[in-house]
A and B are shown apart, each in its own frame.
Chain A
Amino acid sequence: DARVTQTPRHKVTEMGQEVTMRCQPILGHNTVFWYRQTMMQGLELLAYFRNRAPLDDSGMPKDRFSAEMPDATLATLKIQPSEPRDSAVYFCASGKDRTHNEQFFGPGTRLTVL
């Protein structure tokens, strides 16, 4: 059955290192969302794409975060350099191109920055 996949599922890294998280949206979906979830902040939208074009990345710290969609089957979220405050679970979600589309979430990447 169709699912959003994310890799890696867990990542432990040291402060200052580069982190890349990957997401494969459901085939046929053309909207992709990146969220960050922490205990304190709940679900924060970092960026979203439609037809691979970034529509909004205002929730993302621009100095260290970047999001891209090299092709329709891959979305990436990169942090460089990483900091301890980036420790969180990062979710990718995808949806179809119509108003009020359901967002299908992946299992998340749990990032720990030491």
Chain B
Amino acid sequence: GENVEQHPSTLSVQEGDSAVIKCTYSDSASNYFPWYKQELGKGPQLIIDIRSNVGEKKDQRIAVTLNKTAKHFSLHITETQPEDSAVYFCAASGGNYQLIWGAGTKLIIKP
């Protein structure tokens, strides 16, 4: 079955710098790749997603890139701010309702 690996498990960056989180997946049939942000004490919330017919997608300070050949996708956050501190999860889906989740990345923004 599908397996999603996420790195790093913890990422600490200076406020204002960029952060990059990477995920790889195993099932070449996967065609939907969302990213969720989980703040302390809350449930995960979708922040951006990408489908397999698109290589890159941007929404203000966040962007996601997809390389289907290499089977990896990445989340990029530019000009990081304190409110970006959270746990970020990547996931992959092959067309059914189920998402296969990465293990999560704890992003720490240092003032």
A66 to chain B, nearest CB (A): 20
A4 to B44 Cα, complex, angstroms? 12
Given contacts A42-B101, A100-B93, A108-B42, 19 further A-B contacts (CB under 8 A): A33-B97, A42-B89, A42-B102, A42-B103, A42-B104, A45-B101, A48-B97, A48-B98, A91-B44, A93-B43, A99-B96, A100-B32, A101-B97, A102-B34, A102-B49, A103-B44, A105-B44, A105-B45, A106-B43
B residues apposed to A, CB below 8 Å: 32, 34, 41-46, 49, 51, 89, 93, 95-99, 101-104
12 contacts between A and B (CB under 8 A): A42-B89, A42-B102, A43-B104, A48-B97, A48-B98, A93-B43, A99-B96, A100-B32, A100-B49, A102-B34, A105-B42, A105-B43
A25 within 8 Å of B (CB atoms): no
Contacts of B97 in A (CB 8 A): 31, 33, 48, 50, 55, 95, 99, 101
Q: For chain A residues 62-114, which have a beta carbon within 8 Å of chain B?
A: 91, 93, 95, 99-103, 105-108
Closest residue on chain B to residue A105 by CB atoms: B43
Interface of B is mostly: loop
Instruction: Please pick, from A42, A48, A108, the residue contacting B43 in the complex, using a CB distance under 8 A.
Output: A108
A residues apposed to B, CB below 8 Å: 4, 31, 33, 42-43, 45, 48, 50, 55-56, 91, 93, 95, 99-103, 105-108
Contacts of B96 in A (CB 8 A): 99
Contacts of A108 in B (CB 8 A): 42-43
